[in-house]
Amino acid sequence: MATAATTPATPSAKSRRTLRTEGRKKRNLKLSTDKEFAKTYFAAKSKRSTEKKSAFRKKKNRKK
């Protein structure tokens, strides 16, 4: 009776949590080293925040 040959375990895809952690590390490194990138990154973040607030206010005003 022959036993089944075991194949080496294939590396599985990284978990979502691991990928997110790696992405954060990569982004933080780039933000600390590339000043031009940091400037545009935070400007865009601020713009999105402002637009969200504006849309929320607009929605609330229309409800009345």
Q: How far is CA 28 from CA 3, 17, 35, 49, 50, in A?
A: 50, 17, 12, 20, 23
In a domain, 63, yes or no: yes
Position 33 scores a pLDDT of 97
In a domain, 44, yes or no: yes
Domain count of the fold of the chain: 1
pLDDT surpasses 80 at 1: no
Phi-psi region of 8 (alpha: psi -120 to 50; beta: other; left: phi over 0): beta
In a domain, 51, yes or no: yes
In the chain, % helix, strand, coil (3-state, to 5) comes to 75, 0, 25
pLDDT surpasses 90 at 2: no
Position 62 scores a pLDDT of 85
In a domain, 22, yes or no: no
Reported as a single tens digit per residue, the pLDDT across 4-59 is 667 676 778 999 999 999 999 999 999 999 999 999 999 999 999 999 999 999 98
Range of the domain at 52: 35-64
